[in-house]
Amino acid sequence: MALGIGRCLLEKRKGHSNNKRDRESDHKSSPSPYLCRFLSNARKKCFSGFGFPSISRIFSSSSSSSDSTCDSNKMTISDSESMVCDFPCTLEEERRIVTELMSEAEDQLKEGNLYFVISNRWYTSWKRFVGQLTEETSSGEALEVTRPGPIDNHGIIDSESDASDPQLLKNLEEAVDYVLVPEQVWNKLVEWYKGGPPIERKLISQGFHSKSYSVEVYPLCLKLRDGRDGSSSIIRLSKQASVGQLYETVCAARGVSKEKARIWDYFGEKKSVLLDPSSEKTLEESCLQIDQDILLDVDGSASSQDDMSSAGNELALVLVEPTTNTMLSEGTVSNGHSNGSMFSLWKNPFKDDACGSSSGFGSREKRGLVGLQNLGNTCFMNSTLQCLAHTPPIVDYFLKDYSGDINEDNLLGMKGELAFEFGELLRKLWSSGQSTVAPRSFKTKLGRFAPQFSGYNQHDSQEMLSFLLDGLHEDLNKVKQKPYIESKDSDGRPDDEVAEEMWKYHKARNDSVIVDVCQGQYKSTLVCPDCGKISITFDPFMYLTLPLPTSRTRSITVSVLYGDSSPLLTPYTVTVPKDGSLRDLTSAVGAACGLKEDESLLFADVFAHKVFKYLDNPLEPLSDIKDNDRIVAYRFNQMHRGPGKARLEILHWEQKKFSIIGRETKYFGIPLVAYANAEPLSGSDIDSIISGLLSPLRRTHSSSSSTVDAGEENGHIEDAADETNGSLSSKNSEVEEDNAAAGDGSFNVFLAETYSSSLKPLEPGFVANPRSTTKVVVEWTKKEHEKYDSSSLDVDLPEVYRPSISVKKTKKEVSLFSCLEAFIAEEPLGPEDMWYCPACKEHRQAKKKLDLWKLPEILVVHLKRFTYSRFLKNKIDTLVDFPIHDLDLSKYVMSKDGQSCLYELYAVSNHYGGLGGGHYTACAKLMDEDKWYDFDDSRVSQVDESEIKASAAYVLFYRRVKSESTSSNMEED
């Protein structure tokens, strides 16, 4: 919750228990009762155990509150009484209380709930302290943690802001610079730690079709200019506040009667719209942007030079949408209200100028070279808009009267408002006398219908393009009543017949200029891996998302654990599909290590000398494995993992020297795994299992009789326990008999509690649970170290992948055709996309193949440069060699409908920089000039065609051109 509440809260956040860092713990013996429980002067380590305690009740106020607090950093130890520090809660209790309060807040989301901004630096230190986050040193040891001091938010506050009203620094990033916590959590943290200052924010709801919640971290900041004396001040309100509330706030701040005040939208220091004091429209709906100017006019106090003027171009006016469900027409008056029908009249801004027609193309005067002002991280939007603004059929359509195509009743649309705002914006971009346009009204509409694009965060230009094209289609869909059409399978019919039928059905429900211009059709073939059932469908597409071939595979290093006299660990590096599953890793590692038919591998993610997670689901995606993970594959004979067997995880633990806080303990080495029968086990049974596991590590003595036989070839871990009763095999039994005779065969063994750091002695008759893993802790004393070579056990596990620093990266380059080949290549579906086979009546991981069937007039190609997994985000900067002229796709298109498959590039959306930021620009070709231009927000400059092909290219826009063969065929017809 703390890391995700600033974004839309449509889904519950997953529990903390899946976080590897939550599982870190080091067991320690209790310090002297006279010492403070949290003694930072001694730098005592505090850990959380193997997981969170179960959340069964809300911690009562009587047990969690206290009037006393202790600053451990300032505490001095003078006598036994002053050494006792009575903190209200233990670290486990703090963690549990916060977790429960977070969960409560998620269950009670409503508009107006309070959240508080906390410095991520302080919050991270608190998470380390309570065990929600643990970092390790380069040697794999956990870093020492101490109780954090008071909450300190000064690092994220603008030093020039008023201390009584602290303001955040601009462009802070959630989960990097700050986190958000509910009011109840903030109150508890302040009770425990004091500090501040408090930065309060409210939860707001957004959305048109469905509401979603988000915290308004940055309220709308407006610069108020007083027309009476020219003075300026800052007004801060929620973007959900009404215009009436703005009047009340401004009048109260400036001591002005509401009846005498007039407030103007003063964007760009020009009067554009007079805001109506009786309006209930929100400030966001009124197109007011963050950090823009508003002008207070009291009885005409504003100077005449500020009077509204069209400067000979009515398009200079940015009008506010009407409060009723209508759109602007010629009947719109200055206050933004319409006195006419929605599309009754259209005023064509081109009819009286050199354009001669409603189309901006082919005009004598330069048009289309207008920049778009950046409204605050809106370069992604500007890049997309410029590409569409230079798409000839789109521009031709919107510069004509399209009012008859508006579909106000489409439940999937935006009542025509998005299409109207887009059309108005194109008219401004293709009008004369313009150099820069501020797309405020369009951004307002975009944020209203797609709240993910509201605010001022950076977004993906392709995601914005996808939403915009889909929204324009629904607003312009000529089909008012969509007929119900039941989909049919091919059933062996010819592809031409099935494809034509599916396209006809699609057009019966979807008929717009977007479908006519931007949509093509591909053939999808699914094959069941079990019964061989083939399913063929033909589906429409709006754009092609092409993977980059360099991202198809990855290298994974796995340490295979043996139990014989050979090296205990043998690392293997294998190559697997990047989007593959654990089944692919099992096959690759099995082939590398020579796994026999009666053997199997158990994969485990090892962290801080414990198993963080067992990877035993063959369909688990490999994307869940991070490059810095350490994976061990335990090699077993399959007969030892059958029904009735329980998994034992053997951990190694030793005591260190005494320190000021008592005897220090720690875990070390690689955890071992064995299987035992789920029946009562005696101490000797456990000793036998552990002795068998450690037999490869036994030191060789001078006497030949004491030399350990390492066992059979490829002796495996599970051989330490007999398949029937968990006892040792015959050879190891002889060794153990010798040990028993010597009186040193027993170990100090404990059971680790599942949800705490405490250990308890192993009771006689213990029965392991076959449905879970039993953690057995072996205490290593001087006797064990003398008998076994623990150095072979306590080795650094290799990471899954560590790139070599010394290897210089070579600049890679792939062709667009290689990306297309990867797109149409057959591949298995992911585990999360299982296909229901109608023949098997089961979900199957079918093989899927895509083929291009028919291509649209405008072909949009999205290069998949950004990859995401559960833990990793990455951008691929590989240069893609794409044709600018004569892109011939004829060999990839299966339909022979006579349409040209030759394309020419006319626009590119570029992304520079890395993830979480960067900058978008656009390059577009002015058709009537046959010249390329670079659109970098408000800056427009000519660029040479040779500079278009760059590694920043992200979305490519192609238009169909007629080939010679197509032209000749048309002439013959």
Query: Looking up tokens 């010597």, which residue turns up?
Result: 742
Report the alpha-carbon distance of residue 412 to residue 208 in Å, rounded: 11
The tally of CA atoms less than 13 A away on the side-chain side of residue 345 is 10
Which residues, 6+ apart, have CB-to-CB distance to 354 below 8 Å?
Answer: 363, 364, 365, 432
Which residues, 6+ apart, have CB-to-CB distance to 621 below 8 Å?
Answer: 579, 580, 581, 830, 831, 832, 869
For the chain, percent helix, then strand, then coil, each to nearest 5?
Answer: 25, 25, 50
DSSP string, 245-289: HHHHHHHHHHT--TTTEEEEE-GGGS--EEEPTT---BTTTTT--
Which residues, 6+ apart, have CB-to-CB distance to 391 below 8 Å?
Answer: 517, 858, 906, 907, 957, 959
- The number of beta carbons lying within 10 Å of the beta carbon of residue 540 is 18
Report the alpha-carbon distance of residue 158 to residue 165 in Å, rounded: 10
Q: Does 593 participate in catalysis according to the annotation?
A: no
CA angle (678 as vertex; 675, 681 as ends), nearest 5: 90
Contact 503, 537 (CB under 8 A): no
**Radius of gyration of the chain measured on its C-alpha atoms:** 35
Sign of CA pseudo-dihedral 930, 931, 935, 938: negative
Contact 239, 216 (CB under 8 A): yes
* CA-closest candidate to residue 730, choices 760, 688, 762, 698: 688
Contact 434, 494 (CB under 8 A): no
Q: Does 652 participate in catalysis according to the annotation?
A: no
Residue 843, helix vs strand vs coil: strand
Using CA atoms in the order 872, 875, 881, 882, what is the torsion angle rounded to 10 degrees? 100
Report the alpha-carbon distance of residue 460 to residue 453 in Å, rounded: 10
* CA-closest candidate to residue 318, choices 347, 287, 296: 287
Catalytic residue among 8, 221, 506, 919: 919
Contact 131, 91 (CB under 8 A): yes
Task: For residue 796, give the H/E element and its range.
Answer: none
Catalytic residue among 355, 379, 593, 923: 379
Burial of residue 831 (number of CB atoms within 10 Å: 0-12, 13-18, 19+) = middle
Report the alpha-carbon distance of residue 837 to residue 526 in Å, rounded: 9
Which residues, 6+ apart, have CB-to-CB distance to 332 below 8 Å?
Answer: 319, 322, 338, 339, 340
What's 436's DSSP letter? E
Within 825-953, residue ranges assigned H as helices are none
Report the alpha-carbon distance of residue 665 to residue 643 in Å, rounded: 36
Q: What are the φ/ψ torsions at residue 121 (nearest 5 degrees)?
A: -65, -45
Tokens read off for 142: 């956990």
Sign of CA pseudo-dihedral 135, 136, 142, 146: negative
Using CA atoms in the order 794, 795, 797, 803, what is the torsion angle rounded to 10 degrees? 150
* CA-closest candidate to residue 871, choices 545, 611, 630, 628: 628
Contact 741, 705 (CB under 8 A): no
CA angle (546 as vertex; 581, 961 as ends), nearest 5: 160
Mind telling me the catalytic residues? 379, 919
